[in-house]
Chains A and B, each alone.
Chain A
């Protein structure tokens, strides 16, 4: 028998439903009109180094409690603002709140000029320079590197090829090394049905739409499911705001430089060269065993882009005596941008970094160009 409701309770429920319907209508109209573009990348920062389109940003903080600085290396195919989506959903903000001195290498948007950029351009050129610049800006002798996705791969190549670089710790998140584990996304290219050049556009780069379509193929009904979730939560202003920021990011990929893409396909996808220790860059072979600093491999349990099988072998390939694995309950993006990220994944990553850092007073310092909040280059406008 259905329990009877008091008239006040009925009235209260009706009022609640009407309020939700009004908000649903208002948010739906705003979303459809596209007038409420969310502001992203709002954490204040300064550009402390710039080379071509690559920039090193230092986030302002008055509460740095650990040294060395953490240099986040972002992927080549997506925008770095996923790490700083909103004030209450910001990986950068979480790391700052943990007392870390946070910097980020942003690659900008590649065009025809970058089409010739090879993996060496990043591992032997930009990243070593950015690491030096980070040390200068923070007045530190070392850095901790935190690479995300393809940025993790670039970080691995850099540290493996340049053991002389002042890298105290290396942490990578959702970073593929065994490319057989990425079969869903790379199948076309692995078996030669498509050649790398078939995918390049007239600028010589992989166009953002191709990257987006490749991701879409992994979950063909993903867009429908996310629209259904949006409809279900359309009354919730906070949800809609977060949804818009994330939706903006997922449709905002950047071109992948053609030469680096060719190397990735020919050596990593087809030959799985990193796993077999056969990756050839600039005439030499990359040996991940040369990585000797403390190492953290962060994987996401529900990662459909870089499945655990693609990331796990990494821990056995690096030479670090101090190496750790974290398998966290998140998806690929959820590792850095979600409620789980704020509560579970980022605190655990920050904890590892803290344990492998020291307080500034205990650390040797070297003369530097600028302290916290002192830009070495003109201030960076907020990304919108």
Chain B
């Protein structure tokens, strides 16, 4: 016969299950979705604003900014894609 869980576990389950259900229900609500959507957009805007304000200072010190790094990454990415496409062309021949 399987042994009963310890008392602390039974107490934990008694709280966790209804709490978990209530939180999951809340996470499905329109209000929560609104909060998350606003949060995501605000974070994005804040990041852009910080980048914009720090760009001038970093460039004054001749340091690369996140935008510079992103631009370089995009160029490397494009190169990698071209290499892949060329490799496929070569394979076909």
Residues of A at the B interface (CB closer than 8 Å) are 52, 112-113, 115-116, 183-184, 187-188, 191, 193-194, 198-199, 202-203, 217-222, 224-225, 228, 232
Contact = CB atoms under 8 A, between A and B. Distances in A.
Contacts of B19: 221
Contacts of A113: 77, 80-81, 84
Contacts of B77: 112-113, 115
The 4 closest A-B pairs by CB, nearest first: A221-B20, A220-B23, A193-B37, A112-B77
A112 B28 contact: no
User: What is the interface of chain A mostly: helix, strand, loop, or mixed?
Assistant: helix
B16 A228 contact: yes
Contacts of B59: none
A194 B40 contact: yes
A268 B11 CA distance: 42
Nearest to A224: B16
Contact of B16 (A183, A199, A225, A232): A225
User: What is the interface of chain B mostly: helix, strand, loop, or mixed?
Assistant: helix
B34 interface: yes
A338 B37 CA distance: 36
Nearest to B47: A202
A228 B20 CA distance: 14
Interface of B: 5-6, 9, 12, 16, 19-20, 23-24, 27-28, 33-34, 36-37, 40-41, 44, 70, 73-74, 76-77, 80-81, 84
Contacts of B73: 112, 202-203
Contact of A184 (B6, B9, B27): B27
A188 B33 contact: yes
A112 B44 CA distance: 19
A115 B80 CA distance: 12
Contacts of A194: 36-37, 40
A222 B44 CA distance: 28
B1 to A, nearest CB: 17
